[in-house]
């Protein structure tokens, strides 16, 4: 089986909810006390703040996450891939990313996103 044939259902379901703006599905993935660390933003704390970030703050108007890999166990998970879409100002977006997750009771308690850009 090649990497192209591998599927990552939990991650795919998570990103499908985000990519389709299905904000009511966020509690299926995120702990009520989620902390989300993402470059360029202050840490996002709590499910209501996360919903607000996705629906209002984030610069993305539309797009799709595609996964290249992912691993998950009972309390940690990681995934990596790329995002392609469009910003609210109409600019094309293309970004490689990696996410690290800490899980509690099967829900994401902490998420840290990394982007592949020169920083230092």
Interval 6-35: pLDDT, tens: 578 999 999 999 999 999 999 999 999 999
Residue 120 pLDDT: 67
Domains and their CATH numbers in the chain: 3-115 (3.10.450.50)
CA–CA separation, 108 vs 101, rounded Å?
Answer: 6
Cα–Cα distance measured from residue 41 to residue 110, given in angstroms and rounded to the nearest whole number: 15
pLDDT digits (tens, 9 = 90+) for 70-101: 999 999 999 999 999 999 999 999 999 999 99
What pLDDT score does 6 carry? 59
Give the global pTM: 0.90
């Amino acid at each position: 089986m090649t990497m192209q044939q591998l599927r990552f259902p939990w991650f795919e379901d998570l990103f499908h909810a985000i990519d389709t703006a299905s904000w009511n599905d966020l509690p299926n993935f995120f702990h009520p006390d989620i902390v989300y660390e993402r470059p360029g933003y202050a840490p996002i704390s709590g499910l209501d703040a996360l919903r607000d970030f996705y629906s209002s703050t984030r610069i993305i108007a539309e797009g799709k996450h595609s996964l290249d890999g992912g691993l998950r166990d009972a309390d940690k998970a990681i995934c990596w891939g790329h995002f392609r879409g469009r910003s609210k100002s109409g600019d094309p977006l293309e970004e490689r990313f990696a996410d690290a997750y800490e899980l509690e009771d099967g829900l994401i308690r902490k998420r840290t996103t990394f982007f592949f850009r020169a920083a230092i």
